[in-house]
Amino acid sequence: MQRFLRIKQGIQRTFGTLFISLLLFGLFVLRFSDAFNFLIDLPSEDHIWCGSWELMGPLLETFYNYSTDESNDSPLKLLWKRMSVEMRKCTLCISQHHQAQDMYSMEYDSSSISPLLSVLRSLDEERVGQHLKEINARLAGGEYIPERDNAEVVSVMFEVFMSF
């Protein structure tokens, strides 16, 4: 994986972001499951939406089937769990995630993309709602530590305000 990241960075420096996006889209088409595994296995300091948005954007379409996926450890559910953790503390990840959804709504006919966006909206509402409950529980239980938890509060409020 480190080798792939070095190759990606070298190509990006040489040919630019558009080329790397096209290259990664080609990898996506040819190696769909590898794309999931690549994103899931990124080092924890490399956020999916921050560093690999050009690969993650097209993968959003697969979330249409999220509710029919019964396995808790499927690549789709593992990817969502990882993105959810990253979006707890990273406003750039939140912004990229919502920009990708906005791009879908602008580029595709609403009748064809509405079901996917509805699923994503539902997943986002569930994720943000759960996060707010956890923060409130920490506050109520006297377990809130500002140095540790402030980034989560900022991120969740950022996402709530983005939704208006």
Rounded to whole angstroms, how far apart are CA atoms 50 and 97?
A: 9
pLDDT per residue rounded down to tens, the chain (164 residues): 566 566 656 655 655 555 556 555 555 444 677 888 899 999 999 999 999 998 899 899 999 999 999 999 999 999 999 999 999 999 999 999 999 999 999 999 999 999 999 999 999 999 999 999 999 999 999 999 999 999 999 999 999 998 76
| Helix runs in the chain, H state only | 2-15, 17-30, 32-40, 48-51, 53-59, 75-87, 91-107, 110-140, 146-162
164's tokens: 């208006």
Distance CA 21, CA 15 (A): 10
Dihedral sign, Cα of residue 38, residue 43, residue 49, residue 54: negative
Given this model, what pLDDT does residue 11 score? 54
pLDDT in the model for residue 82: 97
pTM for this one?
A: 0.78
> What digits encode the pLDDT tens for the residues 129-152?
999 999 999 999 999 999 999 999
Q: How many alpha carbons fall within 13 Å on the CB side of residue 119?
A: 15
Which pLDDT score is estimated for 94?
97
Q: Where are the domains of the chain?
A: 2-162
Asked if residues 93 and 49 have their Cβ atoms less than 8 Å apart, the reply is yes
How far apart CA 107 and CA 58 sit, in angstroms, is 12
Structure tokens at 61: 């379409």
